[in-house]
Chains A and B, each alone.
Chain A
Amino acid sequence: MVVLKIVNLTKSFGDLEVLKGINLDVNKGEVLSIIGSSGSGKSTLLRCLNELEEPNSGEIIFEGVNLLDAKININQLRQEIGMVFQNFNLFENLDVLENCLIAPTKVLHLDKKSAEKRAIKQLKAVGLSDFIHADTRSLSGGQKQRVAIARALCMEPKIMLFDEPTSALDPEISGEVLDVIKDLANQGMTMVIVTHEMAFARSVSDQVVFMDQGVILEKGTPSEIFTHPKKTRTKEFLKRYL
């Protein structure tokens, strides 16, 4: 079942064409990784999926609703699309628990008790139950990113978007974040992951997309992309990671 369908999506910043007609389907429970060199447009594509960037044309159909339709309430749709950022973006005025509570209480209007139950469950799942009242500034990068994941999951989204979740972390710490994402994949969460971690993409993905200069150059299963890439550009790119 297709959860997210991207049709002919284009986006440009001024004269710079970043996305040149992207077509992509994401199935329910599938993990889709987007790889590619910097500037290939993969982060922009991801940010278009919850309309943090406004595409110029095309369609993004999420559960049968076109996200880009001017009449729909984008805030309502965003509740169902979780996002995790490269720089964590934890709310600096709130502590760990409050970070996870703010959206469920203010957006979903849950009462404080059930929101707290939800938040503690999620924080436990990412291994941070000892830190619920910690100041976010006192956390390590890996802990911050795990809080960010828990915060997004507290909204019980139908799909999760990860924008280079480990790029700001050193290799030793990124493992703890990748483990959390892997757990999530095993639970059947639908995910779109932009990443530079090839080994991770290979092990966790159902589908891998290689982007270059604003187009999808190649897509397929991890083994198709990583072991038998067809395009020379893909081979060139992957060579640096082997």
Chain B
Amino acid sequence: MMLKFRYLHSLLFSCIAFTIITTLICLFGGINISGVTLLNNSFVLYLCLGVTIVSLLITLISLKKTLPVTLLKVVFILTFVVAGYLLFDLVILGLVRGFMVAYSLASKPNSTYPLMVRIAYIIKTKYSMILNGVWTTLWLSLLGTIFGLILGLVLVILRTLEIDRRDQEGKAFLKKIGHWFANIYITVFRGTPMLVQAIIIYYFLPGILSGVFGIDRSVFINILTPGVAGLITVSLNTTAYLSEVLRGGIEAINIGQMEAARSLGMSRTKAMLHIIFPQAIKNSLPAICNEFIINIKDTSVLSVISVMDLFFMVNMINGASGNQDAIFIAAAIYLVLTYGIAFIMKKIEHKMNLVAKPLPSSN
């Protein structure tokens, strides 16, 4: 039986996965099963080397000769079972063991304790802080994406305004200003880091606003708390990106949709509102979800203006404990959040792209 390409692929993949996982375990000092350290550093290194050589050999042979598929299947499954167990042991059992130890500890475990014990101790003592951080991260990125979508729609209206020969001079001029504003806005907000924008908005916006409105600066400082300034930053930033996304969504729509709407007597605005935007938003939904996921991760830079998001909280925990252990908690939570949202969004998209309803036959 010929060796199929996908088996070769899976084999290589499993070897790489195995190598990465065992290397990780090696880095964390091996695993401990009923008192015996199974994977200490040297053991893992030899194992990795061995697995890599064997897999390379198998791959090389299989390139020259046909190998029985069942053999490859067995190797493939075995590698995954071992790798899967090691991962399970490292994360899940490791955490369980960590908690068991952590609960019996009266004081903070020092660096001689395994990492999982230290992480478990942090979770045990600081979980409310972490949960508050998660909450802040979630609402900031969700509201930021929603506001960004609304403002992005406004911006995309400005960008797609067409100057008609029937427009009076003043109207045409206003439309031109609209174009300019939208283009400058997008250039500025896409061309500067969110970190920089956050600092400018938090530290300088109150002064600018008090200059403009002639009201005392402290009024604006009270309004622009870190949370509000952070939300403004995320929203304005998202606006710039989503308006580009939406413009792409609009351009992807067949020109015939607009022509049909216009031929029925709809004005450009009405056609946009009732025909083009609903389709454009639907087309852009994956990109909008993507922006939400990006926002979850990117709100971490707002800790620079002391927005108490997940990253800020973890940083604070790290600062107090004098090490960087808590960062793994942040990594895991960010991963769960982004993956969870991606999963939900996929379901929603799937639902929205419903296959056409079955119909009675005709003619």
Contact with B along A54-73 (1 / 0, CB 8 A): 10000000000000001100
Q: Which residues of chain A in 113-131 are interfacial with respect to chain B, using CB atoms and an 8 Å cutoff?
A: 127, 130-131
Question: With A102-B274, A103-B266 in contact, is A89–B360 under 8 Å at CB?
Answer: no
Residue contact B359 to A138, C-beta cutoff 8 Å? yes
Residues of chain B contacted by A148 (CB below 8 angstroms): 260
Contact of B104 with A by CB under 8 A: no
Q: Which of B165, B261, B270, B362 contacts A131 (CB 8 A)?
A: B362
How many chain A residues touch B (CB < 8 A): the figure is: 41
- Which of A4-12, A13-21, A75-83, A218-226 lies at the binding interface? A75-83
Contact of A187 with B by CB under 8 A: no
- Give the shortest distance, in Å, between A16 (CB) and chain B (any CB): 19
Contact of A236 with B by CB under 8 A: no
Binding site for B on A (CB under 8 A): 50, 52, 54, 70-71, 74-79, 81-83, 85, 87, 89-94, 102-103, 106-107, 127, 130-131, 134-135, 137-139, 142-143, 148, 151-152, 155, 176
Residues of chain B contacted by A79 (CB below 8 angstroms): 264-265
CA distance A50 to B257 in the complex (A): 16
Contact with A along B279-294 (1 / 0, CB 8 A): 1001000000000000
Q: List 19 A–B pairs whose Cβ atoms lie within 8 Å, in order of A's numbering.
A: A70-B165, A71-B166, A74-B166, A78-B263, A79-B264, A79-B265, A87-B254, A89-B259, A90-B260, A91-B257, A93-B282, A102-B275, A106-B270, A107-B265, A107-B266, A127-B363, A135-B356, A142-B363, A143-B362
- Give the shortest distance, in Å, between B149 (CB) and chain A (any CB): 17
How many chain B residues touch A (CB < 8 A): the figure is: 27
Residue contact A137 to B166, C-beta cutoff 8 Å? no
- Give the shortest distance, in Å, between B211 (CB) and chain A (any CB): 44
For the complex of A and B, list the 9 residue pairs with the smallest distance between their C-beta atoms, beginning with the closest: A138-B356, A79-B265, A89-B256, A89-B260, A103-B264, A83-B263, A78-B265, A93-B278, A135-B356
Contact of B357 with A by CB under 8 A: yes
Residue contact B256 to A107, C-beta cutoff 8 Å? no
Residues of chain B contacted by A103 (CB below 8 angstroms): 261, 264-266
